[in-house]
Amino acid sequence: MTSQWLFAVRRLLLTIPVLFVMSIVVFLIIRLVPGDPVRTMLGFRATAQNVEQVRHDLGLDQPWMTQYLEFISGIFRGDLGTDIVSHASLTDLLLQRAPVTFELTGLSMLLAVAVGVPLGIRAATGGRWIKRLTEGFVILGISIPDFWLGIMLVLVFTGMLGVFPPSGYVPFATDPAGNLRYLTLPVLTLAAGEAAYLLRTTRSAISEVMDRPFVTFLRAKGLPNSRIVSGHALRNAAPAIVTVIGIQVGVLLGGAIIVETLFALPGLGRMVVTAINQRNYPTVQIGVLAIAVTFIFISLITDLVVARLDPRVADGAAR
């Protein structure tokens, strides 16, 4: 078995205990949050008898170990449970909400990569004014909170210009143009900060590679700077850039909670926020677990891609 395959197998096996620990953490954190979900659901006029009956029907009077085993066994059976407020199937809710969050996150990361990586290359190889302009963009992108930027974008592009809708969502399959119009402002809100992070990472990685002896040798051979960057420097800097992209996807998934609430997008983030306010245990734990599992698998894919770009990573792990 080659080092690449050995590294992939080890990472896959390592994912299993990580998922197990994550499920325990999510299960416990939700139940440690103050508040009684049954009293929240029934209202302040609920009698003690009604509260105990509903708690028994939902299985909340069982020991935590019994509830956790039922939770895990339900996942393996494909039965994610039922929303205790709306009584809807959590499997159906997840299938409805997850595509919205994944589309928002995917488009935001694509835009961040398309803006941040080229600007980072220009910042590392360009003149003084390019470096100053990109440094200003990095400072602004990292400093401005998502919720404030989202509000400003709505005020400008909706309130003043009337170009994009302030909230709402339509599926891409139903209306592709309308889908992109509704997602434009949320995507810009999420992508701005990520583009700044990628710009800074790319600039540092390219600058570090350009200072290596082999670049001096290539310049001595007469290769133009553009060819050195595109053919050699970017290839050597790619593992660092890809690693940061994988990490920032997790940041985007977390930021999607704020953005979805701000723009009224029916995604996982908004579902989790609503469920937290309702003390809706099953919905919160499934929503948080879905986001966590997504990030874990993206981290796995990132590691495999980095090992492919830099075989030394796999060789070192195989020893």
3 state DSSP class of 279: coil
Task: Sort residue 162 into left (φ over 0), alpha (ψ -120 to 50) or beta.
Answer: left
Q: Which residue has the tokens 């401005």?
A: 144
**Amino acid 37: pLDDT:** 65
Residue 128: how many other CB atoms lie within 10 Å? 7
Tokens of 164: 């994009």
**Amino acid 1: pLDDT:** 53
Task: Give the CA count within 13 Å in the CB-facing half-sphere of 182.
Answer: 21
- Separation CA 40–CA 34 (nearest Å): 12
Tokens of 98: 């997850």
Band (270; pLDDT cuts 50, 70, 90): confident
Residues 6 or more apart whose Cβ sits within 8 Å of residue 313: 7, 239, 303, 306, 307
**Amino acid 105: pLDDT:** 92
191-210: burial string, b at 16+ Cβ within 10 Å, e else:
bbbbbbbbbbbbbbbbeebb
Cross-strand bridge partners of residue 236:
none
Tokens of 55: 């708690």
Q: What is the pLDDT of residues 296-310, one digit of tens each?
A: 888 888 888 888 887
The DSSP symbol for 46 reads -
Q: What is the rounded average pLDDT of the residues 124-146?
A: 85
**pTM attached to this predicted model:** 0.83
Q: What is the rounded average pLDDT of the residues 89-94?
A: 87
Secondary structure element (H or E) that encloses residue 184, with its range = helix 176-210
**Amino acid 106: pLDDT:** 92
- Separation CA 295–CA 54 (nearest Å): 35
Helices 3-32, 64-77: axis angle to 10 degrees equals: 130
Task: Sort residue 39 into left (φ over 0), alpha (ψ -120 to 50) or beta.
Answer: alpha
Q: Which of these, 299, 129, 123, lies nearest to 200 by C-alpha position? A: 123
Band (115; pLDDT cuts 50, 70, 90): very high
Q: What is the pLDDT of residues 186-215, one digit of tens each?
A: 999 999 989 999 999 999 888 888 888 887
**Amino acid 100: pLDDT:** 92
More confident residue, 200 or 125: 200
Tokens of 253: 């998934």
- Separation CA 89–CA 27 (nearest Å): 19
**Amino acid 154: pLDDT:** 92
> Which CATH architecture is the domain 94-277 placed in?
Orthogonal Bundle (1.10)
3 state DSSP class of 82: strand
Mean pLDDT of the chain: 83
